[in-house]
Amino acid sequence: MAKRQLLMLGIRASFHTLAAVLVAGVIFTAVFLSRNGMRKETPQSIGVSNVEEGEGSDRECNIFEGKWVFDNESKPIYKEEECKFMSDQLACGKFNGTKLLERLRNKRMVYVGDSLNRGQWVSMVCMASSVITNPRMMYFHSNSSNLITFKSLEYNATIDFYWAPLMVESNSDDPTNHRLPERIVRIQSIEKHARHWTESDIIVLNSYLWWLRPHMKTLWGSFEKLNGIYKEVEMVRVYEMALQTMSQWLEVHVNSNLTKLFFMSMSPTHERNASMQGEEWRGKTKQNCYGETSLIEKKGYHGKGSDPKMMRVVENVLDELKRRGLNIQMINITQLSEYRKDGHPSIYRKQWEPLKESQVLDPSSYSDCIHWCLPGVPDVWNQLLYAYIVEDHHST
């Protein structure tokens, strides 16, 4: 009899002792069904229930579906004051790091994308470094370039972050001075970025937040020359063009036998919006994530902070690339993150410019409801990513 296993992240499961992280007092419950290529295990821990299914069931596991469950006993995998890689922009208030580092021995893993991917990189580095007891066995390097490097010397394992918020070349590529009134993308140019991460063993890509505007100025030509052609292109279309440029580069330059590719789906925002659904803010108007201490409990909730059209573009591009022989595994974090309106730093983070007193007194206008606190939701994103990385290691 095939078995459906209802598991809470945080207990041993079919992903070979996949352990989850406490996220602001809650953990994400995922439904684990038998999955092609993964061996079945009988759960040994309290809190696991088995539901019998008829023989011949061919349902597959979807680890991205489930609900958040309150847990007041687990501990965070790391504490913000103990992780030196934690920035003030993320700090607000068990994952097997050894197994991860063993999997990354003599390898390089790189996160490529925007500040949300950088937050996920910080989460991964904090979790990995938590098992390194000798500070001299860690190396960290950042010289204000697009590339930030963490390295475990004992394992010769590298976990990098590379700043490329629009994936292709743009006028927002400077890792510090990128807050520009108008964004311009060179829609057919990716080599400037890709040459820094193409040869990696594991590549984790994301690009979403920086595209959220009705149109994007697009350049065919060079920023250095005056004969380029500029055109305003509708956002979804130019986003698709950028992902196609990315997929063409990967198809030519990445060896799928050596490099594992992942794409993080869009991270939803919980900002104020006149058309917000009532259940998101309990019927309140002019409300955002500030002061929110509970999650959204409506199953399958979809807010206004994620764009289904962009999601379909990603799926179509990745499906087409797979048909051409190169597989990129999407890590679907969108739905599970939709529920977590309570997980953002709001006004309790270091802003690019310190908030004025009048702004602090107006949290509905100046709260950060885009990024996530750490420890927090990005830890669970990495738990899902970790499952694929470790499981792939066992299946090869």
CA 187 to chain centroid, in Å, comes to 23
d(C-alpha 329, C-alpha 246), whole Å = 15
The residues facing 203 across adjacent strands are 110, 261
* E-state strands within 14-170: 26-33, 49-52, 62-70, 108-113, 138-142, 147-152, 157-163, 169-170
Q: Which of 111, 113, 112, 118 is nearest to 89 (CA)?
A: 118
Token duo for residue 191? 């080599």
Q: Which of 377, 289, 373 is nearest to 87 (CA)?
A: 373
d(C-alpha 232, C-alpha 42), whole Å = 56
**Cα atoms in the 13 Å half-sphere on the side-chain side of 170:** 30
Helix (H) or strand (E) holding 36: none
Catalytic residue among 160, 173, 368, 379: 368
d(C-alpha 335, C-alpha 315), whole Å = 15
Contacts of 16 by beta carbon, 8 Å cutoff, 6+ apart: 390, 391, 394
Which residue bears the tokens 């799926």? Answer: 315
Contact status, residue 206 vs residue 264, Cβ threshold 8 Å: yes
The CA angle 92-122-253, to the nearest 5 degrees, is 150
d(C-alpha 68, C-alpha 296), whole Å = 9
Q: Has 368 been annotated as catalytic?
A: yes
Contact status, residue 374 vs residue 122, Cβ threshold 8 Å: yes
Catalytic residue among 306, 337, 371, 379: 371
Catalytic residue among 74, 115, 123, 346: 115
d(C-alpha 236, C-alpha 358), whole Å = 36
The residues facing 163 across adjacent strands are 113
Q: What is the identity of the amino acid at 2?
A: A
List the catalytic residues: 115, 368, 371
